[in-house]
Structure 1
Amino acid sequence: MAWNILHGGNDIENGVQNVVEIIREIDPDVILMIETYGSGKIIADSLGYNFHLIAPKGTALDDKGTNLSIFSKFPFGERIDTDYPFYLGGREILINNRKIRFFSNWFHYLPWEDEPEKLGKSAEELLEWEKTGTKYEMQNKVLPYLRKYAANAEFVPMIFGGDLNAPSHLDWGWRL
């Protein structure tokens, strides 16, 4: 499961408890959590999950400035640290005596357009427009990490998930 809980689940009354209840109902084995912001350890402990905060070693587990975390019903292996822990990090998880590398990520939303098909741009122009924002810069910074681990994925599988802040073209024009 990958889930952006939006500001640690703290924007609504009983938000953290609501997050706990939803996870309890779904019962995933692994969660790549985004926008943890200090509530991840409380959520993991409430559910009995192992908890990994994607942050420099020694960071307080309830640090409200941290974004990403990983929860697992299975034991953790090695940390996978990057120079960009706010938007990419990982952890090996040992499932049935096999290592699998899990990466949680968050990419900035800019540039953003709810309905990019209405910008009057060709597909090629849209792809160039996508390169004008913070998201593209972040993607380029983390690609070397992803390439490194993907090159070895035949031997140690990897799962990459999180919040790409990029709606599918199937979602364009969809409104609540």
Structure 2
Amino acid sequence: MLFIPACGQAKTPHSKELKVLSWNIWHGGHSKAYPGTACEAAIGILKKSGADVILMIETYGASPMVADSLGYDHFLISDNLCIYSRYPITDTYTFPDSIGTFNFGGVEIDVDGQPVRLFDTWLHYLPDMRLAPTDQTEQKILAWDDAGTRDDEVRRILSVMRPMLKEADRIPVIMGGDFNVHSHLDWTEATKNLYHHNGAVVGWTVSKEMQKAGFKDSYRELHPDPVKNIGTTWLYDNDDKPTRQDRIDFIYYKGKNIRAVASETYNQELTKPLELNGDKFFYPSDHGFVMTTFKVK
């Protein structure tokens, strides 16, 4: 574990806006399609995004370069996970006796006097969502999904978070990352014949567990109609043609003194540049990223 403070750009004392970005950068920003260092492309996107906090997944050696370039405080949870913050990091959290740091860890930051807790998450990629048996009944689809470890992982995570969730009305909680599974809020009756859902309506277990724990899905809260805005975050190569998939990357939150006011997902084919706030960047990852702006009281 490595916690490195840095002198980041300070927010004005009266600002209570918090912009959080969650991104799996794909093996430290690896890409065979980019002639330079793909991590540099990721850094360019992160800088242009204006994010105050970045929940990074598949960091794999990129952490020092990203932290130095941004000038943010950062907490290296594991080779896989790292959190960067424009605001001071005042505490760090890992729970190695219950859930490994490869899967989960967090920080507490000071947002102009208001503490906020943020957690970075990676759930196992198996069973692979590309192979979901969508031609089967919902019961069989869930049995296929539940045969993996994601359900157990998220339940262990929510268990260790229980004391903090009880305090969420005083200290807001934000939890994001790569969950490697779809959401029940996306696989509805209205979308069953869209997005290659193959007629399936599925109450995916992980997202249901998050909802049961009192978390709000920030993107879906602000884009309630998945027919109009599915919010794709995952791109994979199917033969030699890129194929879009559903959301598997999320930013959840809980607390009465925090609300999401804007949320977008960004993704791009690996062979095309991403246009972001007027600039174009090579896109180095097979995951899209989620960016949610919160207002914190």
Give the alignment's TM-score, normalised by structure 2.
0.52
Q: Corresponding residue for 1:136?
A: 151
Q: How does 1:89-168 map to 2 (within 5 A)?
A: 89-114=105-130, 116=132, 118-122=134-138, 124-168=139-183
Instruction: Answer whether contact 1:4 1:34 (CA < 8 A) is retained.
Output: yes
Aligned residue pair count: 165
Q: Could you report, residue by residue, the CA deviation over 1:42-88 in whole angstroms, capped at 9, with x for unpaired residues?
A: 11211111111114xxxxxxxxxx10010111000111111111110
CA distance in 2, matches of 1:113, 1:46: 34
Q: Corresponding residue for 2:76?
A: 53
* 4+ residue segments displaced more than 3 Å: none
Instruction: Answer whether contact 1:76 1:92 (CA < 8 A) is retained.
Output: yes
CA distance in 2, matches of 1:22, 1:40: 15
Candidates 84, 95, 104, aligned match of 1:71 = 84
Amino acid in the other structure paired with 1:71: Y
- The structure having more radius of gyration, on CA atoms, is 2
Greater fraction of residues in strand: 2
Q: Corresponding residue for 2:252?
A: none
Percent identical across equivalent pairs? 34
Give the direction of change, closer, same or farther, for the CA distance of 1:40–1:69 in structure 2 (3 Å limit).
same
For the pair 1:85 / 2:126, whether they are aligned, the reply is no
1:154, distance to aligned residue in structure 2 (A) = 1.0
Amino acid in the other structure paired with 2:46: I
Amino acid in the other structure paired with 1:53: L
1:117, distance to aligned residue in structure 2 (A) = 6.4
RMSD of Structure 2 on Structure 1 (CA): 2.0
Amino acid in the other structure paired with 1:6: W
For structure 1, list consecutive stretches of 5 or more residues without a partner in the other structure: 56-65
Give the alignment's TM-score, normalised by structure 1.
0.85
